[in-house]
Amino acid sequence: MNKEKTDELVEIFAGTSIDAEIVNSLLNNSKIPSFKKDVNMGTLAPWQVSAGGAGAVKIMINSNDYKAAQSIVEEYTRNKAK
Protein backbone atom coordinates (compact mmCIF):
# COMPACT_ATOMS: atom_id res chain seq x y z
CA MET A 1 0.00 0.00 0.00
CA ASN A 2 1.52 3.32 -1.10
CA LYS A 3 0.77 5.98 1.48
CA GLU A 4 1.03 9.67 0.57
CA LYS A 5 3.30 11.76 2.77
CA THR A 6 1.54 14.32 4.90
CA ASP A 7 2.47 16.51 7.81
CA GLU A 8 5.87 17.38 6.39
CA LEU A 9 7.50 20.76 6.90
CA VAL A 10 8.01 22.69 3.67
CA GLU A 11 9.51 26.07 2.86
CA ILE A 12 6.91 28.52 1.56
CA PHE A 13 9.01 31.72 1.51
CA ALA A 14 12.62 32.88 1.67
CA GLY A 15 13.70 36.49 1.95
CA THR A 16 14.96 39.26 4.20
CA SER A 17 14.22 39.34 7.92
CA ILE A 18 11.60 42.05 7.47
CA ASP A 19 9.80 40.31 4.60
CA ALA A 20 9.89 37.00 6.47
CA GLU A 21 8.39 38.63 9.57
CA ILE A 22 5.54 40.11 7.51
CA VAL A 23 4.82 36.84 5.71
CA ASN A 24 4.94 34.92 8.99
CA SER A 25 2.41 37.35 10.51
CA LEU A 26 0.12 37.13 7.47
CA LEU A 27 0.12 33.34 7.66
CA ASN A 28 -0.49 33.26 11.40
CA ASN A 29 -3.32 35.81 11.05
CA SER A 30 -4.88 33.43 8.51
CA LYS A 31 -4.68 30.57 11.03
CA ILE A 32 -1.83 28.88 9.17
CA PRO A 33 0.86 27.85 11.68
CA SER A 34 4.33 28.83 10.50
CA PHE A 35 7.77 29.53 11.87
CA LYS A 36 10.95 31.28 10.78
CA LYS A 37 14.11 29.32 10.05
CA ASP A 38 17.67 30.69 9.74
CA VAL A 39 16.77 33.92 11.53
CA ASN A 40 20.24 34.44 12.97
CA MET A 41 21.89 34.97 9.59
CA GLY A 42 19.38 37.64 8.70
CA THR A 43 20.00 39.36 12.03
CA LEU A 44 23.78 39.04 12.24
CA ALA A 45 24.59 39.85 8.61
CA PRO A 46 21.54 41.42 6.95
CA TRP A 47 23.68 42.88 4.14
CA GLN A 48 24.47 39.31 3.05
CA VAL A 49 20.82 38.24 2.88
CA SER A 50 19.13 38.41 -0.48
CA ALA A 51 15.54 37.45 -1.15
CA GLY A 52 15.58 33.71 -1.64
CA GLY A 53 19.37 33.70 -1.82
CA ALA A 54 22.14 32.65 0.52
CA GLY A 55 21.40 33.47 4.11
CA ALA A 56 17.73 34.19 3.52
CA VAL A 57 15.26 33.79 6.38
CA LYS A 58 12.87 30.98 5.51
CA ILE A 59 9.24 30.47 6.47
CA MET A 60 8.27 26.87 7.13
CA ILE A 61 4.74 25.45 7.16
CA ASN A 62 3.00 22.10 7.26
CA SER A 63 2.65 20.63 3.77
CA ASN A 64 -1.11 20.28 4.33
CA ASP A 65 -1.38 24.11 4.41
CA TYR A 66 0.68 24.69 1.27
CA LYS A 67 -2.09 25.74 -1.16
CA ALA A 68 -3.66 28.25 1.23
CA ALA A 69 -0.28 29.62 2.25
CA GLN A 70 0.91 29.89 -1.34
CA SER A 71 -1.93 32.25 -2.26
CA ILE A 72 -1.11 34.49 0.74
CA VAL A 73 2.59 34.60 -0.15
CA GLU A 74 1.84 35.29 -3.82
CA GLU A 75 -0.50 38.16 -2.91
CA TYR A 76 2.14 39.66 -0.58
CA THR A 77 4.81 39.38 -3.28
CA ARG A 78 2.53 40.99 -5.88
CA ASN A 79 1.58 43.88 -3.59
CA LYS A 80 5.18 44.44 -2.54
CA ALA A 81 6.25 44.81 -6.18
CA LYS A 82 3.78 47.67 -6.74
Residues in the chain with pLDDT < 70?
Answer: 1-6, 41-55
Q: Are 56 and 37 in contact (CB under 8 A)?
A: no
For residue 7, what pLDDT is reported?
A: 78
pLDDT per position as a tens digit, 18-39: 899 999 999 999 999 999 998 7
Angstrom distance (rounded) from CA 32 to CA 27: 5
